Amino acid sequence: MVYNENELNDVRDWQGVEYCFNFRAYEYILQWEALNALSVNVAGSVISCGDLEIFDRPPKETKKMNFDIEDFEGKVLRCTVWNDYALQIKDFISKIPPHEHVMVVTQHGKCEYTVQSDKFATRIFLNEEIDEVNELRRRQFVNFGQGSGSTSQTILSSQSVFPLHKEFVTDGVRNMLMRLEMSCVVVATIKIVQEEYGWFYAACRKCFKKVMGKSEYLQNVENVSDDIVRLPATSLVCPKCHSECTLITTK
């Protein structure tokens, strides 16, 4: 993955490693410390897989899939993949027995509260013969035998769903309207904005300012109160209210 600040040099004889993985510990991501990272590499055992969600927005369709991975310590991380990456995982799972152990590597993912696929740079490896992945699989089996990690057998399956069609057409309440000529005002709640590559952020319910993880807050705010310093590392802090944010919404 090449960024603007990278320097490129010609190399005639490559003798490095094939994949150049730099795996991040789940704790680093779960405690919001990876939000400013350009990309992250994670690996784990797939313990649950959601449906392939299809959002129809002509002339294109947006596809999304969530799945959870587990490391050898039993920590669980949520991953979200989009479009071709979502199809890659769904196609793979549809061709294997439901009880098969699946190891996944997400290379060059984005950390945005979950590990997400990047539009162009991400690579997904599924049950590949990779030394680092084989070592992770071995350590998981060892820990599983000692009673740690996941204690239930994983059953993986996925199907294609159209969440908007299901919500508004299939499951929605239908009311008959008489044909009237009149002016009216419709008050409704926006359920989703179908932008191809949209975004959202976690906001404070009091002031609607974007909240920060504790580590990000400490890096960006000069005068930090003792109450904030004593908060757990996983806490969310509002930079406007200057207090822990326990009630959040999405904006």
- Regarding whether 143 and 237 lie in a shared domain, the answer is no
How high is the pLDDT of residue 168?
58
Least confident among 33-42, 104-113, 167-176, 229-238:
167-176
Q: How confident is the model at residue 88 (pLDDT cuts 50, 70, 90)?
A: very high
Residue 241 included in any domain: yes
C-alpha–C-alpha distance, residues 241 and 204, integer Å:
9
- Please check the confidence at residue 208 and state whether its pLDDT lies above 50: yes
Which pair of tokens denotes residue 186?
A: 């419709």
Beta strands in the chain (DSSP E): 40-49, 52-57, 60-70, 76-82, 103-112, 114-116, 123-126, 160-161, 202-204, 212-213, 236-238, 243-244, 248-250
Calculate the CA 6 to chain-centre distance: 26
- Please check the confidence at residue 90 and state whether its pLDDT lies above 80: yes
Report, as an integer, the average pLDDT of 183-212: 75
| Residue 215: φ, ψ to 5° | -65, -40
Residue 101 included in any domain: yes
Please tell me whether residue 244 adopts helix, strand or coil conformation: strand
Residue 3 included in any domain: no
Domain final residue pick, 165, 183, 217: 165
Q: Which domain holds residue 145?
A: 26-165
Q: How confident is the model over 93-103, as pLDDT tens digits?
A: 888 887 778 88
Residue 160 included in any domain: yes
Of 3, 250, 236, 249, which is closest to residue 118 (Cα–Cα)?
Answer: 3
Q: Which long-range contacts (CB under 8 A, 24 or more apart) does 188-195 make?
A: 191/164, 191/167, 192/55, 192/164, 194/55, 194/57, 194/62, 194/164
Q: How confident is the model over 57-68, as pLDDT tens digits?
A: 767 788 899 999
Q: How confident is the model over 28-85, as pLDDT tens digits?
A: 787 777 667 778 888 888 988 888 888 877 677 888 999 999 888 888 899 999 999 9
Least confident among 38-52, 115-129, 175-189:
175-189
- Regarding whether 138 and 31 lie in a shared domain, the answer is yes
- Regarding whether 146 and 221 lie in a shared domain, the answer is no
- Please check the confidence at residue 125 and state whether its pLDDT lies above 70: yes
Residue 12 included in any domain: no
Residue 176 included in any domain: no
How high is the pLDDT of residue 210?
87
Residue 10 included in any domain: no
Residue 7 included in any domain: no
C-alpha–C-alpha distance, residues 159 and 155, integer Å:
14
Give how many domains the chain has, as a whole number.
2
- Regarding whether 215 and 137 lie in a shared domain, the answer is no
Least confident among 16-25, 34-43, 141-150, 227-236:
141-150
pTM for the whole structure: 0.54
Return the amino acid letter for 228: I
- Regarding whether 206 and 159 lie in a shared domain, the answer is no
Please tell me whether residue 131 adopts helix, strand or coil conformation: helix
Of 102, 54, 51, 45, which is closest to residue 74 (Cα–Cα)?
Answer: 45
- Regarding whether 115 and 49 lie in a shared domain, the answer is yes
Q: How confident is the model at residue 151 (pLDDT cuts 50, 70, 90)?
A: very low
